[in-house]
Amino acid sequence: MSKNRRLGVAVLGAGTVGEPVVRALLEREGELEVRAGCRLELVGVAVRDVDAAIGRGLPAERLTDAPAHLVAAPEVDVVVELLGGDEPAVTLIDAALASGKAVVTANKHVLAQRGSTLEATARRTGAAFRFEATVAGGTPVLGPLAAELAANRIVAIHGILNGTTNFILSAMGGAGRTYDDALEAAQRAGYAESDPRADVEGLDAANKVVILTRLGFGRWLDPASIQRCPPTVVGVAGPGISAVGQADIAGAAQLGLTIKLIGRMRLLDDGHLIADALPTAVKAVSPFGRTGGVVNRVEVEAEPVGRVAFEGPGAGGATTSSAILGDLIAVARGEGSTWAGLPEAAGPAAGPAVPATADAEPARRFFTSALPEQLVRDQVDIEVARGGGFVSAPRPLDDLQAALAAAGVEATLFPIETDR
């Protein structure tokens, strides 16, 4: 856009992320205009409680409790959706895109659940649809996948994608806290919600796996196909990190390992895609093992470039607002949607993920804690055993489960990623 043009911006939601975005548009108008190449004019802010927003110092003349009217306003060119959740967010996003208005969002739930439909709408009307803030907070990952790495064949993506669970696991390892104590500390620090299930049960990480898969592998997955429950000898454990106990953390540490919630996407030789979000054992001295607190880290394996890593803050309003403002500037510059020039992605029905327990899964090593060592050694090929746990030699999961079941053992089996 030319320097004399304006871009009318509507912000839906003025919470943890929305308020820093609104304040930046008001207080850094001149600076952002220089960077965007046009004036970013805040047309209005839709909030649930206008009086409360006024009490926090937001300008009354720009506030409304009617988000649909704001989206439809003719002076609005781009809608920034920061309401979160499903409705009314998805309806408002779709309405904006259908009318040809650009949309910027941080709503990973809507994008993972409705991404295929929303992408089709954006492509039909030519509206820019940007969502960098849905993965890794303020750390750029999606843009480089779609643009700078576009000449590469993506082979695998692994990531610590949820700051809340990483904070909890770091506290359990570094400070020796129990799961419940670490969760309570995360809630006191504002990293975990009063109902933390979306984080600790791996739903948030699974949504981000869906979004990364769209950019890296050109397909939208059904979030329900993303495995979130680590395997046990006879089935599966609780989802996400909810089944990780202090004995698991301590046993892993004695073997030089630590447990992280890792989102994994990998293309198999036969073209099938494995996608999961599981508590995974990694070397404590590895880059993933050293990633603590609410920091996110994403590693991309691609040909010909090799391995590329992105690491930075993945939680917090100010952090996420950086990605939102960056996407607004990209819209102003005419850079289009986050997928850049990538072709339209296949829908969920066209390319389902292969569950990690499927026969197509390559042989893997697994860690488990507190097993009777001699009994297990009689049944299982053990690579190393020490203190409270052991690491199995590489083998298909179903073979390992059968051997342990024959020994009468029940335990959670944590997959190992030893090269990261």
**CA 237 to mean position of chain CA atoms:** 22
**412: number of CA atoms within 13 Å, CB side?**
26
- Which one-letter amino acid corresponds to residue 258? T
User: What amino acid occupies position 390?
Assistant: F
* Residues 6+ away with beta carbon under 8 Å from 361: 274, 354, 396, 397
- Cα separation, 351 vs 217, whole angstroms: 10
Nearest to 409, CA basis, from 395, 396, 392: 392
The tokens for 406 are 């024959």
Catalytic residue of the set 101, 108, 208, 283: 208
For residue 76, give the nearest of 408, 363, 331 by alpha carbon: 331
End-to-end C-alpha distance for the chain, whole angstroms: 43
Tell me which residue of 239, 234, 207 sits closest to 223, measured CA to CA.
Answer: 207
Confirm whether 260 is a catalytic residue.
no
CA distances from 259 to 64, 167, 378, 386, 401 (A): 45, 12, 27, 16, 20
Residue 2 has a CB neighbour count (10 Å cut-off) of: 6
Q: What is the Cα–Cα distance from 91 to 178, expressed in whole angstroms?
A: 41
Phi-psi domain of 313 (left: phi exceeds 0; alpha: psi -120 through 50; beta: other): beta
Distance CA 364, CA 59 (A): 57
Alpha-carbon distance of 126 to 66, in angstroms, equals 26
CB 105 within 8 A of CB 86: no
Return d(Cα 143, Cα 356) in angstroms, integer: 28
Is 117 strand, coil or helix?
helix
**DSSP class of residue 332?**
H
Q: Which residues are catalytic?
A: 208
